[in-house]
Structure 1
């Protein structure tokens, strides 16, 4: 008699993402980080596409309290915030973090550094340039924002001198850092050749290309009809 061993069903992870966003945001919505991590880990997933009405619905707010993306569920957990999700996935795959505790701690450190030490300044500059461009107050304020961005980038460049990645090889820390650096204006990043090369190195990964295309495809399919 042959005994068949059944394989437990593992639910497919679901990641929430927008059905469509304006062109300036396409390719930069933060579900990209989670998609990239899943691609690096080789974990199949499905995107749950939402629109403006879904953002304020009771069902979606039970998954993502602020109505933003991404939110994530895989049958074991339901969570939100891109950095938290990527760190969760990094514990599932050695493609995203080492197996040893010290290595995982370093990955956590760099994920949080990208999100807390660099991204707020980069986002502040992007907000100024995109949403407040031409307003009188930006003439005085923008140079100060740029100065802070440059200071943070200089520190990061100093750390990366002579290194390909933040901690010896590509990890979730590099994934998050590279997505932050994508939002740095090219003329500012050009002051730091080490960071330009680092960003290019990270974004050349096939998993990033697959994640980016997966985000962009629905935007093309759901683009509003031309007026």
Structure 2
């Protein structure tokens, strides 16, 4: 079977362009691999049938003739290993690319997601406003370190890799906060990622798959 990922049929406007199937789509586009999408709704994503492939009831999950996996980082790495384009040829370069995937997901994204919690998902909670300054402080700390690691390079290593793809996707979650503007090299880094033709194709496909907002019964 052609590699297939699960994607949502609809998400709110604020989430469009940020759902994690974007990471898989972008990886497919960068490596020139064909893929299919299994478009599902919120009921199906939590169903026992879907949880057989994604035990936490999320998207994306991935299936091909040999592999069934979940988690966007694992999926992006699997895609990167299947065809040239996102991993260096040498083992050391591959290891560095993989480390940046893990760094994006473990050392940066949890901080970015805390901002989404206080600003969107739990903005109505009494503690959110009090918590927000500490969330911003923690994100800045991570961005200081990442900015120093990037320096004046175009990419985190010698060329664009799956590590950059994952990191750019994570940092895009800060667009509305304007925090990236405090770090010109990181803002330019994200802009370079978004300017890649493969990213544009992935985003267009991601947006095109959304159905109209469901009508309440």
Cα gap change, 1:23/1:226 in structure 2, threshold over 3 Å: closer, same or farther? farther
Question: Structure 1 residue 160 and structure 2 residue 150: aligned?
Answer: yes
Equivalent runs, 1:58-73 vs 2, <5 Å = 58-73=48-63
Q: Which residue does 2:41 correspond to in 1?
A: 51
Distance apart, 1:59 and its partner CA: 1.9
What RMSD in Å do the two structures reach over aligned CA positions?
1.6
Question: Structure 1 residue 24 and structure 2 residue 21: aligned?
Answer: no
Distance apart, 1:22 and its partner CA: 1.2
Residue number among 174, 192, 196 corresponding to 2:183 in the alignment: 192
Distance apart, 1:160 and its partner CA: 1.1
Q: Which residue does 1:3 correspond to in 2?
A: none
Note the alpha carbon deviations across 1:3-33, whole angstroms, 9 max, x for none.
Answer: xxxxxxxx31101000111111111110110
| C-alpha contact (below 8 Å) 2:86/2:161 kept by paired residues | yes
How many residues align? The count is 216
Residue number among 150, 172, 193 corresponding to 1:182 in the alignment: 172
What are structure 1's unaligned runs of at least 5 residues? 1-10
Q: When the two structures are superposed, what TM-score results if normalisation uses the length of structure 2? A: 0.95
Q: Which residue does 2:81 correspond to in 1?
A: 91
Q: Which residue does 1:42 correspond to in 2?
A: 32
Q: When the two structures are superposed, what TM-score results if normalisation uses the length of structure 1? A: 0.91
Equivalent runs, 1:117-128 vs 2, <5 Å = 117-128=107-118
Measured in 2, the distance between the counterparts of 1:64 and 1:226 equals 27
What are structure 2's unaligned runs of at least 5 residues? none
Measured in 2, the distance between the counterparts of 1:217 and 1:223 equals 13
Greater Cα radius of gyration, structure 1 or 2:
1
